[in-house]
Structure 1
Amino acid sequence: MTEVVDTAVQGRQESWRRVATVRRFFLTLFVVGQTVVASYFLLWILPYHGGTLVEIGLLVLFILLYMWIAVGFWTAVFGFVLRLLGGDRYSLLKRHPEAELEATALAKTAIVMPIYHEPVKWTLSGLKAVYQDIERAGRLDQFEFHILSDSRDPNVWLEEQAEWHRLCEELGAEGRLFYRRRRVNLNFKSGNIADFLRRWGRRYRYMVVLDADSLLSAETIVKMVQLMEREPNVGILQTAPSIINGDSLFARLQQFANRLYSSLFATGLAAIQMGDAAFWGHNAILRVQPFMAHCGLRKLRGFGLFRGPIMSHDFVEAAYMGRAGYEVWLEPGLGNSFEESPPSISDELARDNRWSKGNLQHLWILLFGRRIRLAHRMALLNGIMAYMASPLWLAFLILTTVEAVQMTVASINYFPEGHQGLFPLWPEWRPEWAIGLALSTLSLLFLPKFLAILDAVIHGLARGFGGFWRLLLSVLVEIVVSVLLAPVRMMAHSRYVLGALLNLSLSWAGQNRTEETTWREALLTQFPGMLVGAGWSAFAWSLDPMFFLWSLPVAVPLVLAAPTSVVLSRVELGRAFGARRLLVIPEELNPVEVLNDSRAARAENDEDSVLTAVEAAVIRPRLNRLHRALARAHRQPRRAELLAPLVRRLGSEGPGSLSRGELSQLFRDRASVAEIHRMAWRSAPDSFWGQRISSLGSAEL
């Protein structure tokens, strides 16, 4: 029987690999062919037809950038065609009838949520919604939930412990919902997951990974497990998350664009990658045994940026899973998979600052990783280009400016450097060709957006986006904003890439998920780009009026970066658009239950708002007993001597007298937690703790 199963698996694997080879060949043909034609036009547009070093540099940069854009364009076209034909018949979901999946028994699965300095109640309310949805579906028996904390601030991790315990009591989830905080924070999120697997991984066949902002419906989670049971050679199954809960105008724009355009891009990407897909680090299911055996991440042994722990782990883990002979699939047909967007462009760029360094590290693995499949190398390259495209574009603009200066200020050089021959090289201008090439490039960027509108109309989804005319208007608004933000992202990403390559230090922190951008913050963060935009535009005006007009699409968004950042962060504007059914998504008009549960949980009152988590852990008897139970029970005499002065200082002067590290040491020690509770309740009424206690009513204690 085992031999029959192995033969069937091998046959399916050979089948999809043949199909993938054909699809990738045609993608390469279209991209390279289109780039060759566009590059030919550029050569004849350039005055010296590539006869100078500057023009050779322009041509090289143009080829790289045009190919990058063309890959995205043809991926969307593939997706559109496949959806028009009813979907990809080689996808995992198409292989198994619904009745067959329903009859498939579930296996023991861990649902894990790694967190680091996140808004606690906001984050765990999402996990609560996932738990309730699985419970409502009657599938709890095969699932256990783990909160994996890397938080260092005691005001955060003490609140995490309290909220976890409250959820266990509220849900009756004792023995099913677990909390663990690492005391030694090594190797970022991948180290957090690795620590969990070393301790408890052998309890489970599968592991579903959630981010702090992730939501997955019970139906989707169950189907993922069933697909993994039916496909023993699949090591990772990745969903295509939709962005939800966008309140600010920026988040609403991101949410709308993701929901509308990802149908094409995710379908096309899945069809091209097939069983060599990437792992995005969350909203996915992993087969635990091969993941533990093959996906451990050694530290890089290079230099600078390429030395030390791997920060962006997900693409590398997918590559290692493929190297071990397992398949990695992206399955867009698995719906009801959600995540959230940063509320402002400033917060998105702060996140990109962290991600850029991790993605650029992949260059080392791309070049020197052994036995990694070509498709996974291309996925690594794709992640690198997500950030490298910005400095390449900036370099293209700089060389274009140099070319304009040479043609305007300098005398014509009939024998430029690099030109060989007895006859002079005459500069030529073809403005009509330049216009045609510019329109061709713009079509690659914007045509997929209108294909997405057509796709929504064909499949009867336009109503979920507010109807056809509101959908069209929403796309036009999104295009205008994307044009305004593109130069801002270019400048920021270029700075991040330079900082990463210089291996500048970088701090990792929890993301802002709720706050608006202030004018002061916007001016401080965007002022360098505003200065560059204004200076470049003024220089272009002094050089040549036509060059000035050419500079405006980049210069104007940079000059307006601060007000754009502030306006887009406004929640009131985002809600105003939603009230008019603009930039809306189907899940807003017809929300699924897991979304309703998460919103209801986040709307609950915060009972601990009067006290910080440290103060509550000291004062409230119930919470103090909880934290005592979770702290270490024994300590050596030497440690007791070291902690005693910290306890006295905390008891007499309050939490502000101790550092974050000192507070963490105290609250990890059971005797110290008990002692400070006694000291607080014995304090004089006019002391710090006496005043904090008197500020509370009996019901709040």
Structure 2
Amino acid sequence: MPPRSSRKGRAWRFAAYRRRTLFGLLVGLQTAGACFAVLAVLPYHGSTLVEQAIVLVSVILFGWISAGFWMAVTGFFWRRAGGDPHGPARRLAPARIGEVTLAPTAIVYPIYHEDVQRTLSGLASTWRDLERTGQIAHFEFFVLSDSRDPDIWLAEREACLALRERLGPQARIHYRRRVLNLNRKTGNVADFLRRWGRRFRYMIVMDADSVMSGEALVRMVRVMQADERIGILQTSPSLINAVSAHARIQQFANRLYGPLFTEGLAALQLGEAVFWGHNAIIRVEAFMGHCGLPHLRGWGFLRGSVLSHDFVEAACMWRAGYEVWLDPGIEGSYEESPPTLGDELERDRRWAHGNLQHLYFLFRRGISSAHRAAFANGIMAYAASALWFGYLVLITLELAQFTLRPIEYFPDPNSPFPVWPEWQPQWAVRLAFSTLFVLFAPKLLAVIDLLFDRERRRRMGGILAVSAGTLVEMVVSMLLAPIRMLAHTRYVIVTLFNLKVRWAGQNRTEEEGWGDALRHHAPGALLAAAWAGFAFWLQPLFFYWSLPIAIPLLLAAPVSVWLSRFASGRRLRRQGLLVSPEEGAPPPVVRDLLAAPPLRTPSRLTPFEAAVIDPVRFGVHRALARQRRNMPARMQRRAQLVDKALAQGAAGLSVAERSWLVDDGEGLSTLHHAVWLADGDTPWGRQVGALCREGDG
């Protein structure tokens, strides 16, 4: 392990101090100006409790968007300067990095109830591209399943075997399913490390929809080999494969605006970056020694397992004396976007719970200032919506008091001087335009940055297409902002009350139906209608001010449905809008993914039924099933489940019962032989007959 002193004297440390100091001053000065403008706008200039609350919330929110603005400016500066000289890959000459030898590296895919075809197609594409580099011998692939439903994990197992057979004997692809699902993804990775971690120097963690080019994987290992002080190297994944309109808009925003924000974030964090949980390489020995996460011992949502583990693991790696880097210069790292707004919000519900848990670590000893800022940023990603909602409530209350109650000339009981309420419309206009500038200037900078990148501009359809796409993205973003605000506010409240959060596989292939959309968005639409009606009754001018928030909430259901439609996304693609560089010229790894053949042949049988009936599949699963000892209680349970399966069919068994039976070698064998001896007029007998007729055909 490199000693902590090995970080001292590194040039990037002084650069980080200077950059962060300047960044803090710029954000502070801009926020102070906004605070002054808010005080000037309010009728009592901050003399009442309600106005003081408005000022406090306004300052926090403006500081939040100001930080994003200056981060984009920072990224624009370094991109125009040719890149950050302190980046880990840039410190190594191209000729030198090509001479660095590789080391044993595991590429792991922790999955839970995912689309097995998509996950393994991505793995196969990554494997093939890695093979093209000639360095495949240094890598092994592991699919680590936490799936509980046997119809899912049996399909995973079969698909992995089929993929390994298709790629040939040289394909070192392994599948393991945990029997005990403890601590979610962190427990899954920990289980892998306990079993195989000491075989590898590095581990590259992938998500279920991750794809990486072979060149990127090899470069990551070489950077780690060249600098033993790096514990984690995080890439910046680009979104690909968007089909629905919602996914296309997110993909376009990622590819147009993302480079500025990522470059700015990397320039401010430097060697104190964060880990995003996937598409990153980790030094295994250091991770095993220092990144084990304890159970939280707080109250409510601050108790139990750490849900959003990645930021915490990065902080632990730093505390142990290693550096953590985000390198935007590593190209060829990809992932996918949720296809619908509903799926995005469902994912955000889980992330909100996990990010708010970072309150537990925010002020703990041994955490660097950059990681504290990352924790605060993750918390604000969802708390900002609750604050915005609170701001709207406070503004409504302020106007109601000013309109319905007598004017209060002595709002401060301790002051003998009266306060004359006054509105400053010119300050309100200045504040509104300043806020809009801070929000939308980064998008303009991104378009300007694209003007200097001829190849990327060409692959995105040209400047006219990009400009039109930017307008579409901005309009949709304004429509979705109130919807996300209301949803995130609810998630914050749910988390504070420690209500249960469901962690499951992500939908990647289905549209959103009208029933789901209306059910999800009807409460928000009713709230928006009530608020707008109250605003109109209170003061017509306030009603017009409320419309940019109320109208998107009223239209949330149809907007959500339209955005989820694959036909809408394809129409935008045909019109040349929202095009990403990978669509204009797909790299080989993406082409392989798009052309991936199915890994499983379609069957009228469920995977559980096929494992029981089909002799070939039965043989495979029987060989891989657990060989349990014949204890009396176990023998009784086995006999009961076999009898129940024969009498009621697969549908008569619960998920847990099917999972136990198909993972019990003797029980599966008993059921298989009994099914083949079943009468032809029973459900199992009819399925056996149908299978035989298919074989004859």
TM-score by length of 2: 0.97
Question: Partner amino acid for 1:19?
Answer: A
Map 1:111-126 onto structure 2 (within 5 A).
111-126=107-122
Residues 366 and 377, structure 1, Cα contact 8 Å, conserved in 2: yes
SS at match of 2:89: helix
Residues 299 and 308, structure 1, Cα contact 8 Å, conserved in 2: yes
SS at match of 2:536: helix
SS at match of 1:366: coil
Cα 1:257–1:700 change in 2 (3 A) is farther
Deviation for aligned residue 1:143:
0.4
In the alignment, structure 1 residue 421 sits paired with structure 2 residue 420: no
Deviation for aligned residue 1:172:
1.6
Q: Which of 192, 196, 200 is equivalent to 1:200?
A: 196
Deviation for aligned residue 1:634:
3.4
Map 1:262-411 onto structure 2 (within 5 A).
262-367=258-363, 369-411=364-406
In the alignment, structure 1 residue 66 sits paired with structure 2 residue 89: no
SS at match of 1:152: coil
Question: Partner amino acid for 2:294?
Answer: R
Question: Deviation per CA, 1:160-200, whole angstroms, max 9, x where unpaired?
Answer: 11111111111125671111111111111011101110111
Structure 2 unmatched ranges of 5 or more: none
Structure 1 unmatched ranges of 5 or more: none
Deviation for aligned residue 1:6:
9.0
Match of 1:628 in 2: 622
Deviation for aligned residue 1:14:
2.3
Question: Partner amino acid for 1:684?
Answer: D
In the alignment, structure 1 residue 665 sits paired with structure 2 residue 657: no
Deviation for aligned residue 1:684:
1.9
Deviation for aligned residue 1:605:
7.4
Cα 1:338–1:108 change in 2 (3 A) is same
Deviation for aligned residue 1:604:
3.1
Deviation for aligned residue 1:698:
4.1
Deviation for aligned residue 1:26:
0.5
Residues 117 and 598, structure 2, Cα contact 8 Å, conserved in 1: no
Deviation for aligned residue 1:615:
1.1
Residues 221 and 281, structure 2, Cα contact 8 Å, conserved in 1: yes
Deviation for aligned residue 1:370:
2.2
Partner Cα separation in structure 2 for residue 200 and residue 674 of structure 1: 31
Match of 2:527 in 1: 532
In the alignment, structure 1 residue 233 sits paired with structure 2 residue 246: no
Cα 1:56–1:297 change in 2 (3 A) is same
Partner Cα separation in structure 1 for residue 462 and residue 217 of structure 2: 31
Question: Deviation per CA, 1:33-65, whole angstroms, max 9, x where unpaired?
Answer: 100011011101110000000000000001110
Question: Partner amino acid for 2:519?
Answer: L
Match of 1:445 in 2: 439
Match of 2:72 in 1: 76
Residues 51 and 419, structure 1, Cα contact 8 Å, conserved in 2: no
In the alignment, structure 1 residue 251 sits paired with structure 2 residue 251: no
Residues 167 and 173, structure 1, Cα contact 8 Å, conserved in 2: no
Partner Cα separation in structure 1 for residue 418 and residue 452 of structure 2: 57
Question: Deviation per CA, 1:552-580, whole angstroms, max 9, x where unpaired?
Answer: 11111011101111010000010111112
Partner Cα separation in structure 1 for residue 65 and residue 458 of structure 2: 30
Partner Cα separation in structure 1 for residue 104 and residue 664 of structure 2: 34
Partner Cα separation in structure 2 for residue 286 and residue 166 of structure 1: 29
SS at match of 1:93: coil
Question: Partner amino acid for 2:547?
Answer: L
Question: Partner amino acid for 1:589?
Answer: G
Match of 1:571 in 2: 566
Q: Which of 587, 591, 600 is equivalent to 2:586?
A: 591
SS at match of 2:10: helix
SS at match of 2:394: helix
Partner Cα separation in structure 2 for residue 700 and residue 382 of structure 1: 63
Deviation for aligned residue 1:693:
2.8
Cα 1:136–1:44 change in 2 (3 A) is same
Question: Partner amino acid for 1:145?
Answer: F
Partner Cα separation in structure 1 for residue 21 and residue 603 of structure 2: 59
Partner Cα separation in structure 2 for residue 432 and residue 463 of structure 1: 43
Partner Cα separation in structure 2 for residue 419 and residue 486 of structure 1: 40
Partner Cα separation in structure 1 for residue 3 and residue 324 of structure 2: 18
Higher mean C-alpha displacement, 592-601 vs 470-479: 592-601
Partner Cα separation in structure 1 for residue 577 and residue 677 of structure 2: 59
Deviation for aligned residue 1:23:
0.3
Deviation for aligned residue 1:621:
1.3
In the alignment, structure 1 residue 507 sits paired with structure 2 residue 502: yes
Partner Cα separation in structure 2 for residue 107 and residue 153 of structure 1: 36
Question: Deviation per CA, 1:403-434, whole angstroms, max 9, x where unpaired?
Answer: 11011111111011x35322211001111110
Match of 1:168 in 2: 164
Residues 162 and 599, structure 2, Cα contact 8 Å, conserved in 1: no
Match of 1:19 in 2: 15
Deviation for aligned residue 1:10:
4.8
Match of 1:88 in 2: 84
Deviation for aligned residue 1:606:
4.6
Match of 2:680 in 1: 685
Q: How many residues align?
A: 694
Cα 1:484–1:106 change in 2 (3 A) is same
SS at match of 2:266: helix
Partner Cα separation in structure 2 for residue 700 and residue 142 of structure 1: 45
Higher mean C-alpha displacement, 627-636 vs 533-542: 627-636
SS at match of 1:18: helix
Partner Cα separation in structure 1 for residue 324 and residue 388 of structure 2: 32
Question: Deviation per CA, 1:574-627, whole angstroms, max 9, x where unpaired?
Answer: 0111112100101001001111111111x5375134221111111211111111
Partner Cα separation in structure 1 for residue 623 and residue 33 of structure 2: 70
Higher mean C-alpha displacement, 165-174 vs 585-594: 165-174
Match of 1:482 in 2: 477
Question: Partner amino acid for 1:486?
Answer: A
Deviation for aligned residue 1:640:
1.6
Over the matched positions of the two proteins, sequence identity in percent amounts to 51
Partner Cα separation in structure 2 for residue 391 and residue 64 of structure 1: 12
Partner Cα separation in structure 1 for residue 93 and residue 108 of structure 2: 29
Deviation for aligned residue 1:375:
0.9
Q: Which of 212, 218, 226 is equivalent to 2:214?
A: 218
Residues 52 and 419, structure 1, Cα contact 8 Å, conserved in 2: no
Q: Which of 161, 167, 177 is equivalent to 1:181?
A: 177
Question: Partner amino acid for 2:95?
Answer: A
Match of 2:554 in 1: 559
Partner Cα separation in structure 2 for residue 180 and residue 221 of structure 1: 23
Deviation for aligned residue 1:128:
1.1
Residues 45 and 434, structure 1, Cα contact 8 Å, conserved in 2: yes
Deviation for aligned residue 1:676:
1.5
Partner Cα separation in structure 1 for residue 131 and residue 71 of structure 2: 38
